[in-house]
Structure 1
């Protein structure tokens, strides 16, 4: 369904990463973990995860868009958002999309995995779980090149402190001064921390190659059930 949206705000989250709030003219009924498409042209629709959760979004849709210099695909969207905001024009979206949404009413532990701005996908799921008082153990692994890209670090640490079932594990690629978290590849960190993923539902957002590698590794070496690993990437790879 195509919907016109006002751009309520645009603000930086980290270097080349922006939080964008959209006000749709008609409500969007979506599930935690789904995405929307920003309509640039009739045959040019670009997908972005909805960072807000369906139960606590006040009618707004939140996006986290990483628009580094080499990523024209995302930069053009941010530029279109800025233009619409400055000139009081609307942005057209097509929503909702995706089948990798949170599977509620299950007793399994949850493993949420994000690479970079894939965090917006797992943020929606995590926030929904908290708001619905879902007590399943939740492990959130967020990997990034450096700590500056972990723009919700303090927020997630606070959530983990306040909710005993939530465990947040940040991972950066290179060691930094005063960094006390894990260093290296996010999938390697998970493989080191878990002897089995047999009783987990796994949700993944990141590059297609990461999602593909995660599914293969977890099924082959960690007893994960293939049909309990969720990522929209699997519709394309």
Structure 2
């Protein structure tokens, strides 16, 4: 179903990453971890994870995090369309929602491992917010990887959130080491492999490039005992 939205804000999270807030004409019912399609044309619909939790304003506000470097026209076109709608002040930004099968299986109440690369963070952010707002007690391990610390645009916020919520364990991973860095360095999947001898007890949710999701499935299942039906990523539908 196509839904008209007002754009209430377009702001920069980093040099090339934008936070977009949408006010849909009717509240959107969705699950943590699902995505929407930004409709730019009849046959031009582009997927982006919904960063906001389903409990935020009961679906009356949707948040997107879009990485849109100048060479990435696929994403930049959506940011440009959002800015144009914001300037016009109307509800001409069109979406279709919800989509995606890699949503949070909250009824399982199993410990969670959430893995994100770059703006894949928006996918797991929705889950974290939902779990904390619903007072889930199971452990949550959030791994967020980026080339450098600037890509982890909500790092300080997530560190503070982990300090307030004992069930949340936040593990940032960077490839390029900043001065004074005491955290993990290298590949985010390798960080998970180092920290866990077995993944059989966990539900694992993955957001990143298709090749990252594919590599995670092979590594976790073959080397750490993860069960395929306990691994979730929208990319799996295409692999």
Measured against the shorter chain, the TM-score band is: over 0.9
Match of 1:35 in 2: 35
2:108 to 106, 109, 113: 106
Match of 1:119 in 2: 121
**Shift in Å, 1:69:** 2.0
Across the two proteins, how many residue pairs are aligned to each other? 237
Match of 2:206 in 1: 204
Select between 82-91 and 131-140 the one with higher mean Cα deviation: 82-91
The equivalences for 1:82-231 within 5 A come to: 82-89=83-90, 90-231=92-233
Q: Once the two structures are superposed, what CA deviation does each residue of 1:93-118 show, in whole Å capped at 9, x if it has no partner?
A: 00000011100122321000000000
Q: Once the two structures are superposed, what CA deviation does each residue of 1:46-86 show, in whole Å capped at 9, x if it has no partner?
A: 00000000012451000000001221100111111111111
Select between 124-133 and 172-181 the one with higher mean Cα deviation: 172-181
Query: After TM superposition, where is structure 1 displaced by more than 4 Å over at least 4 residues in a row?
Result: none
What value does the CA root-mean-square deviation take over the aligned residues? 0.9
Partner SS state of residue 22, structure 1: strand
Unmatched 5+ residue regions in structure 1? none
Unmatched 5+ residue regions in structure 2? none
TM-score (norm 1): 0.98
**Shift in Å, 1:127:** 0.4
Match of 1:67 in 2: 68
Structure 1 contact 15–149 (Cα < 8 Å) conserved:
no
1:25 aligns with 2:25: yes
Residues 167 and 186 (structure 1), Cα distance of their counterparts in 2 relative to 1, 3 Å cut: same
Q: Once the two structures are superposed, what CA deviation does each residue of 1:194-233 show, in whole Å capped at 9, x if it has no partner?
A: 1010100000100000001001100000000001100111
TM-score (norm 2): 0.97
Structure 1 contact 49–63 (Cα < 8 Å) conserved:
yes
